[in-house]
């Protein structure tokens, strides 16, 4: 479904990886592993189209993502390091606006349910802790079940055990429904055993 062909990535004169090729089938779980600075985030950003690879291309259902543009964006969810939440809005408002901008239809009850699923309090995001922010960002996943490709950068960072296992369940359900997930992590998670690993090294 998703196919990376001969990816090279060079950031500020340093080669992060060279000639990286792999495919992600429907229902597949792929973990990008490697030490800090090995290019995990860069690879995820290349896969979602935010970053152009120095060489090679990413294809979605056989078509280069450069050519698909928004058509491809609508098929994926990317959760990056930054939570993409507005400090002055509540998690509910953030989630509502985030879904609308991504072109997802999310009724009121579904939004409230997603937030309570991750136990996010109804306070302005400014007042939330790091872990609560992360959970508010992850709540988006519960509304994106029909979006086939999830690209998650450190989804378990700052989460407590309960929230981490809830996230794993959500990911597990998505895989069972035929979705694909590509993620990076430093924390060992129960998911890791079923994931295909792409190992990046520091050059």
Partner 1 sequence: MLAVVRTLVRRDLLLAMRRRSDAATALLFFVIVASLFPLGVGAEPNQLRAIGPGVIWVAALLSTMLSLGRLFAADYADGTLEQLALGAAPLGVIVAAKALAHWLVSGLPLVVIAPLIALQYDLERPLYGVLVLSLFLGTPVLSLIGAIGAALTLGLRGGGVLLSLLVLPLYVPVLILGAGSVAMAAAGLAPSGQLLLLGALLVVSAAFAPWAVAVAVRIGVE
- For residues 94 and 191, which CB has a smaller minimum distance to partner 1 in the complex? 94
DSSP 126: G
- For residues 24 and 195, which CB has a smaller minimum distance to partner 1 in the complex? 24
Residue ranges in 49-178 assigned as alpha helix (H): 65-68, 70-73, 91-101, 108-117, 130-142, 161-176
Q: How far is the CB of 76 from partner 1 (least distance, A)?
A: 7
Q: How far is the CB of 62 from partner 1 (least distance, A)?
A: 21
Kindly list the residues in this chain that would bind partner 1 in the complex (CB under 8 A).
48-52, 69-70, 73-74, 76, 78, 80-89, 93, 97-98, 100-103
Give the residues across from 11 on adjacent strands.
14
- State the pairing for strand pair 55-60/2-11: antiparallel
For residues 22 and 3, what is the distance between their CA atoms, to the nearest angstrom?
6
The length of the chain is 203
DSSP 128: S
Q: How far is the CB of 66 from partner 1 (least distance, A)?
A: 11
- Among residues 11, 3, 50, 6, the alpha carbon closest in space to that of 203 is found at 11
Q: How far is the CB of 83 from partner 1 (least distance, A)?
A: 6
- For residues 5 and 89, which CB has a smaller minimum distance to partner 1 in the complex? 89
- For residues 94 and 185, which CB has a smaller minimum distance to partner 1 in the complex? 94
């Amino acid at each position: 479904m998703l196919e990376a062909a001969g990816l090279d990535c060079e950031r500020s004169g340093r080669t992060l990886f060279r000639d990286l090729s792999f495919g992600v089938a429907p229902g597949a779980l792929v973990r990008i592993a490697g030490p800090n600075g090995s290019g995990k985030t860069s690879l995820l950003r290349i896969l979602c189209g935010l970053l152009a690879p120095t060489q090679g291309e990413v294809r979605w259902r056989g078509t280069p993502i450069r050519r698909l543009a928004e058509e491809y964006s609508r098929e994926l969810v990317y959760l990056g390091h930054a939570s993409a939440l507005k400090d002055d809005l509540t998690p509910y408002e953030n989630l509502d606006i985030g879904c609308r901008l991504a072109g997802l239809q999310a009724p009121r009850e579904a939004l409230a349910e997603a937030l309570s699923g991750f136990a996010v309090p109804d306070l302005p995001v400014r007042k939330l802790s790091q872990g609560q922010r992360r959970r508010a960002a992850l709540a988006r996943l519960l509304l994106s079940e029909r979006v086939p490709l999830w690209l998650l950068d450190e989804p378990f960072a700052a989460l407590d055990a309960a929230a981490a296992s809830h996230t794993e369940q959500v990911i597990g359900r998505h895989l069972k429904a035929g979705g694909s997930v590509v993620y990076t992590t430093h924390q060992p998670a129960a998911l890791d055993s079923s994931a295909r690993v792409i190992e990046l090294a520091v050059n």
